[in-house]
Chain A
Amino acid sequence: MEPFYFGKNNSLFGAFHLAEGTPRGHGLLIAGPLLAEGIRAQFALRQIANRCAALGYDVLRFDYAGLGNSVGKTCDASISDWTENLCEAFDELRNAAGSKTQSVVAVRFAANLAVELSRKKSIENLVFWDPLFDGQHWLDHLREGQRNLPEAWLDSVEDIDREFMGHFMCTGFVDELVSRHPATPRATQLSAVLTKDYKHVETVQSVATEVQRIDADCLWQGIASEVLYPVEVINAICDRLT
């Protein structure tokens, strides 16, 4: 894995996994989830990247602006910034790997961003993991998580409308989020891997041509220090890609 910064002002953190063995000339971009979900999924996404690189794919993982190891504060970033970041990462992978074709794995709300990407760029294989295509669905999820926190913590929050499960967001975050509706993605192959408690199956079925249900827990609303590592999901995603 080669870590580097790219994008505007070299502000986005990237982890590039060079293809091993015989390169396929095919790039894989991993669009991880956002906020606390992204931190918890990092380990699993790294495993997917390692496995795909071992099979000859050039793989790029990255952190969105204001998240993970990228530069900036979370409260300064917007959803349109993150959409742009995804496009930058797609182009960066093509430049770094010289790949002829590219696929994308999009997790949770990154699915919404990836759909927009798919309408601008050519994607071979688009795989969703527990996707949230609708901004309102993600907002509901964030608010549900917030409600589960102890009241005493919430009493002293300086701006309850801007803090979501520990992350302090920009002023227009909610408005921007609810304006994000599902759209039809474009890719040669479209599939989704869903875990046991995933709620929006019908939406996914209307978007993806293949939907695989995995009988595994994936507690997206779990504790922020609990790393997610659903082996069955990782296997299923790798199978779909390779």
Chain B
Amino acid sequence: MRSIDLKTTPLLLNDAGLFGIRTAPVADNSALGVVILNAGMVSNVGPFRLGVQLADALARLGCTCLRLDQSGKGESSIRPDVAASDAALLDYDDAFANLARGSIQQTVLIGVCSGAVDALRIAARRDSVVGLILLDGYVGKTPRWYWHRGLHALRWVRSAGLQGTLTRLLERLRSASSITKNAALTGDLDWPVADLPGSYQSVLGRDVKMLCVFSGNYLPYNHAGQLARFLSIGGDRANFREIFLRDADHIYSMKHHRDRLISILSEWVGGEFTKKNL
């Protein structure tokens, strides 16, 4: 990685106190902005500072990165009387307006979990988004998903035995809080998703470059290539790449998993958005 001095600037992006942190090379003349959305309710820093590390790595490639606290999250206030889905779009508009005051006309959006859902919806509605990185984003269940799930359950029953299986099932029934905890860990949340397959098609049809990375304990995803199958697109599609990091968890808790993720994302941004953008 090149040694580039970075400048980090905290910003209030509108009068209501929408907050973001801009990280860019000191000699900032990049044409590509990267907007990083919140992972769930965690602030722009991200779980284990994933957001900070990612912004630094991409800024060293020459990008101007903005870690955004979406309305009501991190340091930002709620937008009164605005639905959450609309707020995400308005937040992006305010962030982009700030980036566009310089030479930036195009952005790559990055989202984790619910942030990935927001990123997809924004990308489907804003032409300024030319790249999309979704970490454990929305994916539908395919026949192969049920096959893998069944195999996993069978393997588990074989190793735990009948008594172990019954004990585990009883434990699950007893503890509602553990189910909530599992949902938070795996991202298996009950979002309204009806519009999302259409958003994928819209974004891909517009030739937005898309990288989708899935972790190993994200329940809606359990085999490589599941998203491509779900969307019925060929794996060789030029603007679509799907990666399964089977060993990593949903929030990249371990340093070596985060390092690997950041390396993959940096390579992809560097490769897809060449010097003409940066």
Task: List A residues at the B interface (Cβ < 8 Å).
Answer: 1, 3-5, 13, 15, 36, 39-40, 42-43, 46, 67-69, 71, 74, 149, 152-153, 156-158, 163, 165-168, 222-227
List of B residues within 8 angstroms of A68 by Cβ? 43, 45, 49, 52
What interface size band does chain B fall in?
35 or more
Residues B23-64 near A (CB distance < 8 A): 39-49, 52
Judge whether B263 is part of the interface by a CB distance below 8 angstroms: no
**B214-251: which have CB < 8 Å to A?**
247, 249-251
Give the complex CA separation of A136 and B68 in angstroms: 36
What is the CA–CA distance of A157 and B253 in the complex, to the nearest angstrom?
11
Q: Given contacts A157-B254, A157-B255, A225-B250, list 15 more A-B pairs with CB under 8 A.
A: A1-B17, A39-B46, A43-B41, A43-B74, A46-B75, A68-B52, A153-B253, A156-B254, A157-B256, A158-B256, A223-B181, A224-B253, A225-B185, A225-B251, A227-B41
Do the beta carbons of B39 and A3 come within 8 Å of each other?
Answer: no
Cβ–Cβ contact A153 & B251, under 8 A: no
Total inter-chain residue pairs, C-beta < 8 Å: 96
A42 to B44 Cα, complex, angstroms: 11
| Interfacial residues, chain B to chain A (CB-CB below 8 A) | 8, 10-12, 17, 19, 21, 39-49, 52, 74-75, 113, 181, 184-185, 247, 249-251, 253-258
Q: How far is the CB of B246 from chain A (nearest CB, A)?
A: 10
Whether A225 pairs with B39 at a CB distance below 8 angstroms is yes
Complex Cα spacing A152 to B17, Å: 43
What residue in chain B is nearest A154 (Cβ atoms)? B254
- Which residues of the partner chain A approach B47 to less than 8 Å between Cβ atoms? 36, 39, 166, 224-225
Flag if B45 contacts A223 (CB, 8 Å).
Answer: no
State in angstroms the CA–CA spacing of A157 and B256 once bound together: 7
Q: Given the complex, which residues of A lie within 8 Å of B21, measured CB to CB?
A: 69
In contact, B255 and A223 (Cβ under 8 angstroms): no
The answer to whether B247 and A152 have CB atoms under 8 Å apart is yes
- List, in ascending order, chain A residues with CB within 8 A of B254's CB: 149, 153, 156-157, 163, 166
In the A-B complex, the 5 residue pairs with the smallest Cβ-Cβ separation, listed nearest first, are A3-B10, A227-B41, A166-B48, A224-B47, A166-B253
Cβ–Cβ contact A13 & B10, under 8 A = yes
Q: How long is the Cα–Cα vector from A68 to B8 in the complex, in angstroms?
A: 13
Contact present for B43 and A39 (CB under 8 Å):
yes
How far is it, in angstroms, between the C-alpha of A72 and the C-alpha of B52 when the chains are bound?
A: 10
Bound complex: CA of A4 vs CA of B12, how far in Å? Answer: 11
Tell me whether A149 and B49 are in contact (CB under 8 A). Answer: no
Q: In the assembled complex, which residues on chain B have CB atoms less than 8 Å from the CB atom of A167?
A: 48, 255
Shortest Cβ distance from residue B65 to the other chain A in the assembled complex, whole angstroms: 13
* A1 and B75 form a contact (CB under 8 A): yes
CA distance in complex: A223, B257 (Å):
16
Are the CB atoms of B75 and A223 closer together than 8 Å?
A: no
